Homo-oligomer: A and B are copies of this chain.
Amino acid sequence: MATIRDVARESSVSIATVSRVFNNSPLVSEGTRERVMVAAERLGYWPNGIARSLITNRTHAIGVLLPELHGEFFSEVIHGIDLAARERGLHLLVSRATSTAAELTAALRSMRGRVDALIIMAPDREAAAVLRQHANQVPMVLLNCEANVPGADTVSVENHAGARTIVCHLLAAGHRRIATITGPLHNGDAGQRLEGYRAAMRDAGLSGEGLEFDGDFTERSGYVAARRVLDHVPRPTAVFVANDHMAIGVLGALQDAGVDVPKDIAVVGFDDIPMARYLTPPLTTVHVDIFRMGQRAMGLLLERAQESRPLEPRRELLQTTLVVRGSCGAQMPLDGETPEPWNRSRAAGSTRR
Q: Which A residues lie at the B interface, using CB under 8 A?
A: 1, 44, 46-51, 53-54, 59, 61, 69-72, 74-76, 78-79, 82, 86, 89, 91-96, 109-114, 133, 137, 219-220, 222-224, 248-249, 251-253, 255-256, 274-275, 278-280, 291, 340-344, 347
Contact = CB atoms under 8 A, between A and B. Distances in A.
Complex A-B, nearest 8 residue pairs according to Cβ-Cβ distance, in ascending order: A252-B344, A223-B342, A48-B113, A70-B79, A275-B275, A75-B75, A50-B50, A46-B109
Copies in the complex: 2
B110 A224 contact: no
Contacts of A114: 49-50, 61, 91
A249 B253 CA distance: 28
B248 A344 contact: yes
Majority DSSP secondary structure for residues of A touching B: helix
Given A49-B111, A96-B86, A342-B219, A69 B78 contact: yes
A146 to B, nearest CB: 25
A265 to B, nearest CB: 16
Nearest to A3: B113
A174 B48 CA distance: 61
A347 B252 contact: yes
B347 A46 contact: no
- From A76, A93, A114, A248, residue with most partner B Cβ within 10 Å: A114
Given A49-B112, A95-B92, A113-B49, A75 B82 contact: no
Given A70-B76, A248-B344, A252-B342, A110 B91 contact: yes
A343 to B, nearest CB: 7
B92 A344 contact: no
A75 B86 contact: no
Contact of A93 (B61, B96, B248): B61
Contacts of A1: 112, 137
A129 to B, nearest CB: 13
10 contacts: A50-B59, A70-B76, A91-B93, A93-B93, A93-B94, A94-B94, A220-B343, A249-B342, A252-B347, A274-B275
Contacts of A248: 278, 344
